[in-house]
Structure 1
């Protein structure tokens, strides 16, 4: 993890750019748009506070929303994960994934996906994260903190099986994932390949 923001290098841009439509003439440079999104993520600033060398915040948000909706970010993440695994001499797809959630407090003004996690005493949201053994993020979901981990993770099963490919053998999680999630994962994996995960 980097300690501070830095713009995309030429090699990083070369890995990301094939997923973007660069043939069309645009008012804004897509590399600058990506850099602005990365700056927002790193600094935690609000969209409207985007200033400096970046394009206007509404233009940046427009592309962010488009790429989020059409799955561009997921495709980029999948490709970069595969490249990074191969760089370390591993297979492109993992055979083992880990799933867990993290409860996050919300400010009182935010109402969407809000709930109370009674075990951690947090009023807010939960992040469900699926990572490989080296910590690369493969699948993520945000939902109310009041939803139980196992049942809230069931919609992630299709994403997990699509992302990990045929190589997936196990998905590790804590006790919260033993019930409905484990059962549903086993059923989906048998349907997909005839072999339970």
Structure 2
């Protein structure tokens, strides 16, 4: 009877077995938003960024730390979001850029009702203006100016 090494020469063993451990389903999070890291956003599939209104990785990296912290994250109640914050913001940007109605939201975004609920909650709590002010302040400081403007021009 032949031994194992006669049937499978050592040179062919690497074709049958991976020489080191390979993690086919790594636990890495696809997005670094709070809903993915601590919430339930991993239950919903990622989407391919395909629209001109989608945030670039650089825009997301600059805007993510400026997002308001959800109440559930601070222990003030509520439950973690089930949708990626980046996807929700991309959906709102798509809506604003295209001037479409909520119900005409493309199917690759979260459901229009979820996006609208997110937007409405932010609007009711003044978080849209706060986020805008934070972005403006960060941009002004990056340009070497004061975070708050001292004058404004209104053109009708």
Does the CA contact (< 8 Å) of 2:66 and 2:131 recur in 1?
Answer: yes
Question: Could you say which residue in structure 1 is the equivalent of 2:55?
Answer: 7
Question: Could you say which residue in structure 2 is the equivalent of 1:57?
Answer: 112
Render the CA deviation track for 1:32-69: whole Å, top value 9, x for unaligned.
Answer: 11111111111111110102321110111111111111
Render the CA deviation track for 1:91-114: whole Å, top value 9, x for unaligned.
Answer: 11112111244xxxxxxxxxxxxx
Gaps of 5+ in 2: 1-51, 74-78
- Confirm whether residue 16 of structure 1 aligns to residue 66 of structure 2: yes
Equivalent residues in 2 for 1:67-78, closer than 5 Å: 67-78=122-133
1:8, CA displacement in angstroms? 4.8
The RMSD of aligned alpha carbons is: 2.1
Equivalent residues in 2 for 1:74-153, closer than 5 Å: 74-101=129-156
Gaps of 5+ in 1: 102-197
Question: Could you say which residue in structure 2 is the equivalent of 1:152?
Answer: none
> Which has the larger helix fraction?
2
Aligned length: 98
Distance change in 2, residues 1:8/1:76 (3 Å): farther
TM-score (norm 2): 0.56
